[in-house]
Structure 1
Amino acid sequence: MRTLGLTRTSPVTFEEAERVVDEDGHGDAEENPDGLARVYVSPEVDGWTLVIGPWCDPCDGERAPEILRLCTELSVRYGRAQAYYYGWQGDGSAWLVVERGAVLRRYCETGEAEDEFFALGDPLPLERDRREQLRLSLAAEGSGDAEFEDEWKWAAFDLAPEIAEALGVNPLALTAETRVRGTGVLAVTPHRT
């Protein structure tokens, strides 16, 4: 929390956090109209600590450099750090995977023209497997091949939760059997408006 600059924590349950993060993300909270002022920091979940909220979006036009820097710092300290965006209503996916200070992959597919500028690193094994299933050439990424781009766009739109699960923890797939240790908190970000 110190590395991320998070302050003023208050314990909350997953259920309460989900409601708050959803309200914040949709601009429904009066005290957090842009959704960037608060995040949920989970208890340890299967060995991972999750930080959830729009503030963590790895491909947000304004926040992307900061999220890249923070994930890099966290990965130096803890070995691995990841950031994800997933739009529940068909708004796309984004992922950032950093290990020991090196970016392995950042990719964004939200239907915005700027998405292509966020790509860093080589496709992850899950991306390669999905492309192979779809019979899409890895060489076609960024080539301007409209058919490839369109088909891959639709496949990648929903890929963030699968990548999170393959590399760590998918917060959308937590169950009663998930190992949890500690207490989750709602925290104020340095972005507080």
Structure 2
Amino acid sequence: MKIETLVKRLAGPGHRAASDALVALGARAVRPVLDVLCDEDSPVDWATSATVLRRIGRPALDPLIEAMATAPTAEVARRCGWAHSGLEIDDISAFVPGLRHPSPRVRANSAYTLQLKGETALPHAPDLIALLNDPDPDVRQRAIWALPELGPGVVPLLRDIRRSSTAGRLRRPALTALAEVAGPAGLDDRDLAAVRRLIRVKQAAEVPEPMHLCGTWFAVPTGDQKAVLEAFDLTDPEPVTMRLGASAWNGDHHGWDSAHHACRRLYVSPCLDGWTLVFGNPFHSAESFEQDQFMDHWRTLSTRFGEAHWYGASCGDDWTAWCVAEKGEIVRYYDIYEEDDQIGGPHPAEEGYVLPHIDPFPDDAFDGIDIGDSEAFGARYNRLKAELGIPDPCHATTFAARASVDPSSLGRQTEVRGHGVLALTACGREHGHPRGALEI
């Protein structure tokens, strides 16, 4: 059967037989299948043609690299990259020349392919390390992501570069890679001292920045950092910039292994407008959410500090929540997903707002509007909101701005006393800091 006929059959429901036949043809089938893969209008599902190339293996390597390098669109480059990263080639050294290809797309995807090979790619770690000084930032980032997957054997290689007098420009990115591979535990005394010096310099001139909020945080009206650490059972405080603290909080909760990292350490802010903010999960397990445990913690905090707040916000959906405890009692609790379990309220910080689970518009407010027409919907929404005097919804940040401090609105106007720290929880004392490079 002609190759063209087999390729056409890849679009049919019984494409498996055609796929097997094309794989059996090997190198002869590569170009026709690759042409289909790169044709965004082809009736053949791109994943089907890419899988055929993956199964063909080595004969498809160079043609895929060429197609990736010359791809006319980002979509074609993505398809070729996916096929390339899964090529069934036993000798993974075949992918190493791609790390030195003129195209940054090819270099980045070759690094990703070695990343997928895990510790079996360790012999090629020096080739990946060389990419830490690549002129393309995406390639540099891909190398940093790839190195941790090669296992702990990467650490001594990076340490040797840090101590080498001939490594030149590789020395600085090697420090970032060390932090990504092993966290603070991967840094020797000289590197730790250098990082701490840089943090002290940055702290002296740091201006508060709005924080990206996705998670939970506490607020207590005190500047006594030692008391806050004791109240949260935190130890080993390490001074950090505000940017570093925010980077750690977001990284720990959104990284590849957040279920194991999120409970190890907390970011305790400087005193901000009279409030200390604590970001993270103070309990021993990221999976063991117990509302009673949280409530007891708020009560205890408010007994110690007179008042304690907890806030929650999500960047992925509309979740928002807040809780206020005063002198040992919960005076207000609200969660948009648990509107029937509210405690207290309304709180003064909610005045002039509508709770976000409430739809304040009349039932017929959007009759005749196509919900899919965002422009028409927005125009009707804004008109009715103004005509009917409908207030804005209250969210954790609007509540915090009135009741304590809104981390998303930090700036030059924020009064800062002291400095922030990263401190270990009981889980962190057992397992140490998570790995991962952080912004300083």
Report the TM-score when normalising by structure 2: 0.34
Out of 405, 408, 419, the residue aligned to residue 183 of structure 1 is 419
Match of 2:344 among 121, 126, 138: 121
Conservation of the 8 A alpha-carbon contact between 1:40 and 1:52: yes
Is 1:95–1:160's contact at 8 Å kept on the other side of the alignment? yes
- Name structure 1 gaps, 5 residues minimum: 137-153
Partner Cα distance (2:257, 2:268) in 1 = 18
**How far apart are the structure 1 equivalents of 2:425 and 2:352?**
36
**Deviations along 1:153-175, whole A, 9 cap, x unmatched?**
x945xx00011111011111111
Report the equivalent of 2:17.
none
What is aligned with 2:323? 96
Mapping 1:1-193, distance limit 5 Å = 1-28=229-256, 33-55=260-282, 62-109=289-336, 111=337, 115-116=338-339, 118-131=341-354, 136=360, 155=393, 159-192=395-428
Instruction: Using the aligned pairs only, state the percent identity.
Output: 32
Question: Conserved in 2, the CA contact under 8 Å of 1:55 and 1:63?
Answer: no
Matched residue of 2:231: which SS?
coil
Q: 1:39 to 1:9 in 2, by over 3 A?
A: same
> In the aligned structure 1, how far is the partner of 2:268 from the partner of 2:400?
16
Cα shift at 1:103? 0.8
Verify the 8 A CA contact 1:3 1:70 in the aligned structure 2.
no
Q: Deviations over 1:57-112 (max 9, x none)?
A: xxx97143222222211211211110111112324111110111111111112x4x
What secondary structure, in the 3-state scheme, does the structure 2 residue paired with 1:81 have? strand
Instruction: Note the aligned Cα RMSD (angstroms).
Output: 2.9
2:296 alignment partner AA: R
Alignment CA distance shift 1:23-1:91 (3 Å): farther
1:128 Cα deviation from its structure 2 partner: 4.8
CA contact (8 A) 1:85 1:95 kept: yes
Q: How many residues align?
A: 166
State the secondary structure of the residue aligned to 1:50: strand
- Asked if the contact 1:75/1:81 (under 8 Å) is kept, the reply is yes
The answer to whether the 8 Å contact 1:35/1:55 transfers is: no
The higher relative CO (CA closer than 8 Å, separation ≥ 6) is in 1
Where structure 2 has 5 or more consecutive residues not aligned to the other structure, the ranges are 1-228, 361-391, 432-440
d(CA) in 2 for partners of 1:70 and 1:21?
20
Cα contact 2:306–2:327 (8 A) shared by 1: yes
1:163 maps to amino acid:
F
Q: Secondary structure at the match of 1:5?
A: coil
- One-letter code aligned to 1:46: D
Partners of 1:23 and 1:107 in 2: how far apart?
Answer: 27
Give 3-state SS (helix, strand or coil) of 2:248's partner: helix
More off after superposition, 21-30 vs 96-105: 21-30
Hey, which of these two has a bigger chunk of helix by percent?
2
Q: Do the aligned partners of residues 183 and 55 (structure 1) sit closer, same or farther apart at CA in structure 2, a change above 3 Å counting? A: same
